[in-house]
Every structure is written in C-alpha cells, then in structure tokens.
Structure 1
Amino acid sequence: MISVEDWAEIRRLHRAEHMPIRGIARHLGISKNTVKRALATDRPPVYQRPLKGSAVDAVEPAIRELLKQTPTMPATVIAERIGWERGMTILKERVRELRPAYLPVDPVSRTVYQPGELAQCDLWFPPVDIPLGYGQSGRPPVLVIVSGYSRVITARMLPSRTTGDLIDGHWRLLSNWGAVPKTLVWDNETGVGKGRLTSEFAAFAGLLATRVHLCRPRDPEAKGLVERANGYLETSFVPGRTFSGPGDFNRQLTTWLQIANRRHHRSIDARPTDRWEADRTAMLTIPPVDPPRWWPLRVRIGRDHYIRVDTNDYSVHPRAIGRTVMVHADNEEITVTCGEEIVARHPRCWARHQSLTDPDHAAAAALMRGEVIHQQAARAATARAAVLAPDSLGIEVEQRELGTYDRMFTLIEGGAGKEDT
C-alpha cells in the first residue's frame, strides 16, 4: 500500500506534468498497477486491518430472533436463552448494535400550544451557594413554571422539594399570575408523584381544577420548554450575581424575569409579554382558598415544648404542654395553633438542624419551672411540719414505743440488739 504522499505525487505527475504511467512507475520505483490504482480513485489510501470474525457471529441469528420477539429484552436474558458462556462485554456490544433495528420508532412531534392550555414545571438547582443563616450555605431548589403559549417564565426558590413546599411554591407563583393553566406538566418528581400523584398534590390539583400530567421516565423532550428556561436562567441570570440569602435571590430573580419576559422569543417570533394577556384570559381562575392550610401537622406537645418541621425545632409556648396543636408551615413562616389561640409563630429557617427559641417562650417556661419548684418546696415543708408538730396541724400520727426506734437505729448501724438475737 502506498502512502498518501505517493498517491498525491502520482496524481500530480499524471495530471499536471502529463507524465505517462510507465514514466511515473519508473520515476517513483513502483509498479504500473500501483500507479493505475492510484489514478483510478479520488480518495487517498486508508489502511484497514482485515476484519476478524467474532464469537458472537455464530449466535447473531438467534439474537436477532429474540430481539424480534421482545426488542427490550436485556442482554443478560439473551445470554441465558442462547446458552452464552463467554464474556458478556462482546455480547452486550453486539446486542447494543442490533437492538435499534427492532425498537419501535418514537419520533418527537413539534407541539403548537393554545392559549391557557398548558404550563411546564421543573426544579432548577442554581450553581451558586446561597447563605442560609447560622453559618450554613446551600443550593435550594428553584421552582420554574413556563407557559406553553406565551413562553412567560415565573420562578421562586423553595426551602425544600417536599410536597408541602412544592404546593406552597405553586400557589404563590400561580397567585401572581392570577390564573391557572388547564394542564401542568411535571417530570417524576418525588414530591409531586412518580407514576401517580401524591394524595396531597392530587388534592391540590382538585382545588385548582387543573390536570397534572406526569411525563414518562427519561423523556426530557416532553418538557423541553422548561428545560430550556432552566438553561437560560443558569447562563443569563446567575453569572456575576451575589446573593445575601434566599429572600435576596427571589427579589433579584423577580426583577430579572420582568426584563426576560420582554425579550423577543425566536420560536414564537414575539415577546412573551405580548402574548400573555390572551394566554392568561384563557386560563382557569385562581380559587380563593389557601391550600397550604389544608394539611396541618397535628402533634401533642411534650414537656420539651418544641415541634420539628423538616430538620429544625421550633419552640412552642409552654402553656400548650400536654395539648394537641396544629402546625402550619409554608415557605416563609411556621405557625402553631392550640384551638383558636396562636401559641407559636416563627420565620421559616432555611438552615438545617437548628433549634429556634422564642424569648417569650423561654421566659414563660422559666417562670413555670420556678412556680413548680416553689410548690414542691411548700409541700415538702408541710410534710416536715406534720412530722415535727403533728398536733398543731390536726394530724393524727401513730405513737411508737421508744424501743422500736432503738432497734431501728441499731440495725442501721450494722449490729443487732439483744432482743433481736
């Protein structure tokens, strides 16, 4: 096989110098047939190692037959069915090559959205550490919602990805819209539901009178609008910004989204704000009920008079000890009620594993402990007085013989009296 340089020189000599094949062969010291083969092709020579047979070749017909019957059959099952006793690597490679020919075609269609029809939802984790207080920092999730028709984006950072926080985040964002899309598209997020909605999120969807569509696993194209919005936030909102906390993050994000929603969107050839009024008008009206109050936590307060939300402990007024209270939690506040009375109100703590104590609760607990100690001391003093001066208190006390006490003290000292031996 000649080199690429010789191939190029043969073609130059023949085409530019008009040298005959015999002369080229004599000039380069190669055969005339080599010159003829070089002039017969317009592609440079490429060395290819002769293909060797594979042990899988003999069982390929059996593999094809199994894939024809069940295109998704795992390679390990195929190996068992065909009696494969060699290494699994080469078999898996062959199965990987053959499988696409037997899988059904799954094209992605381009969808045209109608006003008010749909909004896509997702959680975005910004690549920046947010101060959470108490010396901690983290990367809390951001709930992102994109309307299909207008492409308007709304977003808010949440304390966690639990169902309660997701419901409260939806409620706040949709309340700002003043309307609810007829369908909310979600990936299989644990707080929303995997395969089927959680009971809390299903109730929330019923309140909104909307439909929540859960995408198939590993199908990112089904919510491409919000995926692209996440990328847009990451490349255009985050760079060059610093945040003092989640509240500052949400304030900056809200201000930036007002500008971002006025940009020209190439796919719809319009600005999202120009299509927003028609989009919002076709949506459902927002209900007047506050959903986060639907699922309060019922708990009986122990002597510790603290309740736990997420990973943090919040103090409760000690007068609620021994009683059942209702704990209401949202993204901003923790409220505890005992009957109609509010016995605790705390700002939501975004840090983890903290104990938050209201000074009034601590003072009331200290006062109560002092009263208990005083009552115990008073009862102890009364008991001592009854022993020392029973007549003055009108209490009848059994009178024992003095010898009884002698025997008792003799036993305490470790010896026995003569009467006991």
Structure 2
Amino acid sequence: MGHGQSRTCPVLLMVAGTSQRLAASLLPSTAFRDVWIAQHRMLQEWDAVPHTLRWETVDIQPLMTWFLNERGWDLSWDTYTARAELADLTVQAGRPTPALHAARRRLTAAFPALPSAISPHAFAADLKSWVDHANATGTSTPERWSRERSAMRTPAEAPQVLGLRARGRATPDDDGYVAIADNHYLVGPWGARRRLTVEVTDTEVVIRSSGYHAGGFHTVTYTRSWARGIRLTHPLQHSVSQSGTSRTVQGP
C-alpha cells in the first residue's frame, strides 16, 4: 500500500446470471463507498445494467454496517437501493447464488499464486488478465453474453444508479486537512472553515470549493492512498476557475 503498509484486500466478484460472464475488481476496503465504486466501473465495462442485482453480503461485510455513513456523507446502501427503485431495478441482498459460488470457486482455483507482497496496481492488472481469459475460455460464449446483455438496461436507461457518485461534503480541520477514507488530505487557506465538496474513486480524491472561495472556484485532485492514517500534502493538480478562465496553481 506504500508508506510501509501492507494488508490483504477484498475482491468484488460479479457474474451474469445466464451467460456466467465474470467481472472482478480489487477493493481498498469493504466500505459500501468502495464496493459501489467497483461495481459502477464493472457495469460501465459491461455497458449494461441487469434488471435485478443480487448482492451477497455474507462474506464481505455485515450489511447493517453499510447503513452507517462515514462522517455523515458517504454513499450508503440506503441511497443506492432508493435510487435503484427509482430506476425500476430490483436490488436483493442475501446469501450467495449457485452461479456466484461457482464463479468464486473458479477464481480461487485458477488465479495463480502471488507473492506475499504485491502492489494494488499489479494485482489489478493480473486479475483483469485472468478474468479476460476466463471469459474467453469458459461457458460465457460471445453469443450467450450478447443475448443476455441485449436483454439488460442500457446505462442511459439507469441514470439514477450509474449517476451515483461517492460524493459528499466535508470541512477541513484546524490544520487544513480533510478526512477522507481513512486518510487526511491538505487544502489551502481558500478552504478554511468552508464546507467543501469531495468525490472519491478508487484512484483519486477530488476536493472542490462549493462556492466562490478566495479568488475563484478551486479544484484539488490527489492520488488516493490505499494506506491508512496518512497525511497527504502534494496534490496531482490544483486548478482555479474565475471569469470563464482556468489556471493551474501550485500547492493544495
């Protein structure tokens, strides 16, 4: 994870019920924020949204903990299911289905052994290669998958779900840091004592001013750290928009 830290990370596995098409993603945590970010990406890769989404919650994390919004703003299971209902999608949670059991056995048996320490990016690349191979050689033939996908919703027909983001509001502490997903990210004086808009993906943390702050509208983008308890002070980019123009500035 960097910063001298390592740990075992979960993998989110998704399988199409008829064709057995697989998708999988490494997660930084089992917080619903990170679970949803991963599923959001996999649905985009499929370019389709099933009419029924059956979640197994037995082995990844007790479902009730997903209802707790970290620091009052994190994307929650309640929000997800409510938005799915607006899109006329069925969300079920419970024990694993036979198809998911079979997919997990395939993943466990076929994925090659890895060294005890490997970076998340390297693991994710290996995982993608294995899933691509499994889909090319397994029961999910292109014809079966094409038929199943054609019966699903298009992403444009489910904006209430795919339009969701792990987004919320946060106020910097007295030292100018915003607490996000187990770490602290520095913002400049422009954000002091302000409610800022925060958006999180598995790779980035984006912090924006929610109004005109100290000379313009600020957007600070950090690489998200998968380590924990880290204070990050050097963003990838800090841009300021003012009067229809945008400029890049140094520092957070």
Using structure 1 for the length normalisation, give the TM-score: 0.48
Give the 5 Å matches for 1:150-229.
150-188=19-57, 190=61, 198-206=77-85, 209-215=88-94, 219-220=95-96, 223-229=97-103
Residue identity matched to 1:303? D
Q: Could you report, residue by residue, the CA deviation over 1:308-334 in whole angstroms, capped at 9, with x for unpaired residues?
A: 112111111222112111111121111
Q: CA 1:134–1:209 in 2, change beyond 3 Å: closer, same or farther? A: farther
Q: Could you report, residue by residue, the CA deviation over 1:363-399 in whole angstroms, capped at 9, with x for unpaired residues?
A: 869xxxxxxxxxxxxxxxxxxxxxxxxxxxxxxxxxx
Residue identity matched to 1:198? W
Q: Partner of 1:261: helix, strand, or coil?
A: helix
**Which residue of the other structure, out of 312, 328, 335, is the alignment partner of 2:206?**
335
- Paired with 2:228 and 2:164, the residues of 1 have a C-alpha distance of 22
The structure showing larger relative contact order (alpha-carbon pairs under 8 Å, at least 6 residues apart) is 2
* Structure (1 or 2) with the greater strand fraction: 2
* Corresponding position: 1:291 with 2:160: no
The alpha carbon displacement at 1:236 in A equals 0.7
The alpha carbon displacement at 1:347 in A equals 1.0
* Corresponding position: 1:146 with 2:18: no
The alpha carbon displacement at 1:292 in A equals 4.4
- Paired with 1:231 and 1:279, the residues of 2 have a C-alpha distance of 23
Residue identity matched to 1:345? T
Q: CA 1:285–1:164 in 2, change beyond 3 Å: closer, same or farther? A: same
The alpha carbon displacement at 1:279 in A equals 0.7
**Which residue of the other structure, out of 202, 221, 240, is the alignment partner of 1:345?**
221
**Which residue of the other structure, out of 229, 243, 247, is the alignment partner of 2:121?**
247
Q: Partner of 1:252: helix, strand, or coil?
A: helix
Q: Partner of 1:137: helix, strand, or coil?
A: coil
* Corresponding position: 1:279 with 2:158: no
Q: CA 1:191–1:323 in 2, change beyond 3 Å: closer, same or farther? A: farther
Q: Partner of 1:181: helix, strand, or coil?
A: coil
Q: CA 1:207–1:345 in 2, change beyond 3 Å: closer, same or farther? A: farther
Give the 5 Å matches for 1:82-161.
132-161=1-30
- Paired with 1:307 and 1:160, the residues of 2 have a C-alpha distance of 19
Q: Partner of 1:231: helix, strand, or coil?
A: helix
Confirm or deny: 8 A CA contact 1:179 1:280 kept in the other structure: yes
The alpha carbon displacement at 1:355 in A equals 0.9
* Structure (1 or 2) with the greater helix fraction: 1
- Paired with 1:278 and 1:321, the residues of 2 have a C-alpha distance of 53
* Structure 2: runs of 5+ lacking an equivalent: 68-75, 212-216, 239-249
Task: State the number of aligned residues.
Answer: 222
- Paired with 2:134 and 2:251, the residues of 1 have a C-alpha distance of 51
Q: Could you report, residue by residue, the CA deviation over 1:99-120 in whole angstroms, capped at 9, with x for unpaired residues?
A: xxxxxxxxxxxxxxxxxxxxxx
Q: Could you report, residue by residue, the CA deviation over 1:277-327 in whole angstroms, capped at 9, with x for unpaired residues?
A: 00100011113575343x523222243110111211111122211211111
For 1:358, the equivalent position in structure 2 comes to 234
Q: Could you report, residue by residue, the CA deviation over 1:95-153 in whole angstroms, capped at 9, with x for unpaired residues?
A: xxxxxxxxxxxxxxxxxxxxxxxxxxxxxxxxxxxxx1112111111110001110110
- Paired with 1:242 and 1:258, the residues of 2 have a C-alpha distance of 24
The alpha carbon displacement at 1:210 in A equals 1.8
Using structure 2 for the length normalisation, give the TM-score: 0.77
Q: CA 1:343–1:263 in 2, change beyond 3 Å: closer, same or farther? A: closer
Higher-Rg structure is 1
The alpha carbon displacement at 1:245 in A equals 1.5
Percent sequence identity is 29
Residue identity matched to 2:127? L
* Corresponding position: 1:233 with 2:107: yes
Confirm or deny: 8 A CA contact 1:318 1:364 kept in the other structure: no
The alpha carbon displacement at 1:346 in A equals 0.8
